[in-house]
Structure 1
Amino acid sequence: MATLLRKIGLIRLHNRDTEDPKHHHHHHHHRGSSQQGSSSLRGKSHPKSKPQGSSPSKESHCSSSASPARHKPPKQQPPAPQPQAAPEEKKGPPAGSKEAPSGGKAVPPSRQAHCTQVRTRRLMKELQDIARLSDRFISVELVDESLFDWNVKLHQVDKDSVLWQDMKETSTEYILLNLTFPDNFPFAPPFMRVLSPRLENGYVLDGGAICMELLTPRGWSSAYTVEAVMRQFAASLVKGQGRICRKAGKSKKSFSRKEAEATFKSLVKTHEKYGWVTPPVSDG
């Protein structure tokens, strides 16, 4: 799945070149053809350029109405590296370069290195921002010290929800998710799945896969932060009447990544064919 997403992501990155001058401003100077395309976008401050013919009605679907960017101004990475990030920056690229061959064919090495650097810088900043959250909404642990593989603990959902009741009654302190970030993050979405506890409904499907449009290449915007995505996820869990599964046999069976990837792949296919019908997430 990761390689599939990466491929989709890479193709998308190429599209972005000609369509969104903000993402790769250093490219569009060379392309006469892109001048016309990009100039029309320049007036719009909104980072979500949605080239793939998505209809305006998309706003009524599952990811968009609470544009996660409202929590923070859109995070387009500034080109200058943050000074605090410098010491650990060295750790990042080797981890990324191991994966390079799988998607490397379509992308020149210099571009690959640039992607890794953008991803590294962006994720360092997000980690710092999450550590500073005053409401301790989520916390993050790196898996095997990889900057690109996070276990995220969601500590809070709406206190009036049955899910919060369930968490209290079962002494579940947090909902644990795993997020992996592809080479071309933030221009492609992370792959996200629930690890524990076993949930039912709440748009959580087999293997812990999550039915949220903004986690798909088409619904994703590079301005979304992990914090914003997690707030959206917490809201959609409650909206979809998510519950902690207490059926003895079922709740013991743990979610698996393979199953989650397969489920996510098929749900994206279905939704791209029939549209996203999950309800909009309100500002509430």
Structure 2
Amino acid sequence: MATLLRKIGLIRLHDRDTEDPKHHHQGSFKGTKGNQKNNMKHCNTSSESNILNTPEIKAKRSEQPSKDTSGKQGKDVKEKQAGGGKSSGGSLPPLAPHRQHCTQVRTRRLMKELQEIKRLGDNFITVELADDNLFDWNVKLHQVDKDSALWQDMKETNTEFILLNVSFPDNFPFSPPFMRVLTPRLENGYVLDGGAICMELLTPRGWSSAYTVEAVMRQFAASLVKGQGRICRKAGKCKKAFSRKEAEATFKSLVKTHEKYGWVSPPVSDG
């Protein structure tokens, strides 16, 4: 009997421990509280991550740096404009498009003129490129008026041609070439110190883009005869060669003189 009562008591104790709502609730709460905390932590993290990854938040976050740097970018642009377009690294700006176009125009024009000169049947002039440079020509003038004293000088001195150097600027044919005599050393004929040539059409004022090298050379040949040009035969003076530096200085000086007083035919001795 006692054994039976003890068994019944144990059963009731067991039922009370396992079925008591209070006990069961506490045990469940304790067990789920940690899980709930962990789950809340996990959910909060996941929720925060999801919110930050929404398109609206992404857009705002991406806009924030641009707002901060917009002022700096504007300042950089102003500094570049104030500095003439130079970058902070000091690199040079690219070649301007108009310069590239001018180079193409000059190249096409000179190639065309070379072809036309080769077609000349009278052997009036021949052209060689100086150091294979298309923009720097050595031109041989083989003929002048055969009734002139200059032509007689060429025959007597066995001078087959008058050699000139013609250099073309970047904006040719819209600007004139620079032309000077190399050999022989000439006197008069509007040929001045250094081999500079006194011709209005070789100046910006007298130049036209329609002028060809052949036309310029024919005009030069005529001016040589008109100005009574002669080959220098004086021993001391003839040994001194023409120089480009002297020719450029002389040409610059004569252009200033003629711009001041006009392009009238000067005395033969003055060019």
TM class, shorter-chain normalised? 0.5 to 0.7
The structure that has the greater radius of gyration is 2
Residue number in structure 2 paired with 1:112? 99
Residue number in structure 2 paired with 1:175? 162
Task: Measure, in 2, the Cα distance between the counterparts of 1:278 and 1:226.
Answer: 23
What letter matches 1:179 in structure 2?
V
| Residue 250 (structure 1) aligned with residue 254 (structure 2) | no
Please, which of 201, 211, 228 is the counterpart of residue 224 of structure 1?
Answer: 211
- Superposition RMSD on alpha carbons, in Å? 1.6
Q: Deviations over 1:123-179 (max 9, x none)?
A: 000000001101010000000100000000000000000000000000000000000
TM-superposed CA distance for 1:224, in Å, is 0.1
> Aligned pair count?
175
Residue number in structure 2 paired with 1:259? 246
Please, which of 179, 196, 215 is the counterpart of residue 202 of structure 2?
Answer: 215
Residue number in structure 2 paired with 1:147? 134
What letter matches 1:275 in structure 2?
G
Residue number in structure 1 paired with 2:79? none
- Partner of 1:148, secondary structure, is strand
What letter matches 2:103 in structure 1?
T
TM-superposed CA distance for 1:108, in Å, is 6.8
Residue number in structure 1 paired with 2:36? none
Residue number in structure 2 paired with 1:237? 224
TM-superposed CA distance for 1:277, in Å, is 1.3
* Percent pairwise identity: 85
Task: Measure, in 1, the Cα distance between the counterparts of 2:260 and 2:95.
Answer: 33
Residue number in structure 2 paired with 1:192? 179
Task: Measure, in 2, the Cα distance between the counterparts of 1:239 and 1:212.
Answer: 12
Q: Which structure shows the higher helix fraction?
A: 2
Please, which of 186, 192, 200 is the counterpart of residue 205 of structure 1?
Answer: 192
Please, which of 116, 128, 145 is the counterpart of residue 129 of structure 1?
Answer: 116
Structure 2, gaps ≥5 residues long: 1-91, 267-271
What letter matches 1:192 in structure 2?
M
Q: Map residues 39-50 of structure 1 onto 2, 5 A cutoff.
A: none
Task: Measure, in 2, the Cα distance between the counterparts of 1:120 and 1:131.
Answer: 17
Residue number in structure 2 paired with 1:275? 262
- Partner of 2:138, secondary structure, is strand
Structure 1, gaps ≥5 residues long: 1-103, 280-284
What letter matches 2:161 in structure 1?
Y
TM-superposed CA distance for 1:278, in Å, is 2.1
TM-superposed CA distance for 1:268, in Å, is 0.1
- List, as ranges, runs of 4+ consecutive aligned residues in structure 1 with deviation greater than 6 Å: none
- Partner of 2:182, secondary structure, is strand
Q: Deviations over 1:178-201 (max 9, x none)?
A: 000000000000000000000000
Q: TM-score under structure 2 normalisation?
A: 0.63
- Partner of 2:127, secondary structure, is strand
Task: Measure, in 2, the Cα distance between the counterparts of 1:254 and 1:244.
Answer: 13
Q: TM-score under structure 1 normalisation?
A: 0.60
